[in-house]
Amino acid sequence: MKKRTLVLVAVLGAPLALLPAGAVTAGYLVVRDGWKRQSTCQELLPIEEAKVRTDRWDPPEDLPGLDDYPAIHWQVRAKGNPCTWGPGPTDWAYQGVVKLRPEDARAFAERYDFVAYDPVVAEEYAANRTPEDVWPALAGFLPPEPRWLTSRVYDELDTSSRWRTGYLDVEHATLLFMLDDH
């Protein structure tokens, strides 16, 4: 009976003794992989933010009324540090330049009551979200000497969870957009 008890203790006790060692090893591997992930994230973030993307905007609700357009160039930037271990989502900022068809640009301007852009009014309304604040990599896609129009109607449409600011140059059939998570 004593032998049987001893065997039972050995059989059941061995896994229990190994449990803390396994937990420590698993914890070490998680932390080590987490540090690798964070390091990789920090290295990749500036590369991803520098990319000028040309794929269609998704979801289209962020940019209502555009339908089909010939070209788009856009970028995304983190407003915080998405590589931290802290809880909660990271907000993102987006900017882009959309090339429209001339007839679509005119219809777009009429549909959303675009009016001449006034930098004084824009400073109150869209601080740090004006054509002067366009990111350098996108500046080359803007028309030379643009005549920007702006529309509060368009900017305040409730079709997206993001804040939207749009500037339209009808003559060059170009829309500059800025979106921010909130």
Quick one: pLDDT at residue 26?
A: 47
pTM of the model: 0.77
Does residue 74 share a domain with residue 45?
no
Does residue 165 share a domain with residue 77?
yes
Does residue 76 share a domain with residue 64?
yes
CA distances in angstroms from 5 to 9, 12, 15, 17, 18, listed in the order given: 6, 10, 16, 17, 20
- Are 65 and 106 contacting, i.e. CB atoms less than 8 angstroms apart? no
Does residue 76 share a domain with residue 31?
no
Quick one: pLDDT at residue 4?
A: 59
CA distances in angstroms from 72 to 44, 56, 85, 113, listed in the order given: 23, 7, 34, 23
Sheet harboring 174-180: ordered strands across?
71-78, 92-99, 174-180, 163-169, 149-150, 115-116
In a 3-state reduction of DSSP, which class is residue 159?
coil
Does residue 18 share a domain with residue 88?
no
Residue range 13-66, pLDDT digits in tens: 555 554 455 455 444 444 445 444 557 988 999 999 999 999 999 999 999 999
Least confident of 22-26, 93-97, 100-104: 22-26
Does residue 119 share a domain with residue 95?
yes
Does residue 67 share a domain with residue 144?
yes
Does residue 155 share a domain with residue 82?
yes
Residue range 60-73, pLDDT digits in tens: 999 999 989 999 99
- Are 112 and 65 contacting, i.e. CB atoms less than 8 angstroms apart? yes
Quick one: pLDDT at residue 153?
A: 95
Quick one: pLDDT at residue 121?
A: 72
Chosen domain end from 29, 50, 71: 50
Does residue 134 share a domain with residue 167?
yes
Does residue 95 share a domain with residue 44?
no
C-alpha angle with apex 142: 136 to 145, nearest 5 degrees?
115
Does residue 110 share a domain with residue 36?
no
Does residue 158 share a domain with residue 144?
yes
Count of domains in the chain? 2
Judged against a pLDDT cut of 70, whether residue 155 lies above it is answered with: yes
Q: Determine the average pLDDT of the residues in 155-177.
A: 96
Q: Determine the average pLDDT of the residues in 115-142.
A: 87
- Can the peptide bond before residue 143 be classed as cis, meaning omega within 30 degrees of 0? no
Domain that holds residue 129: 52-180
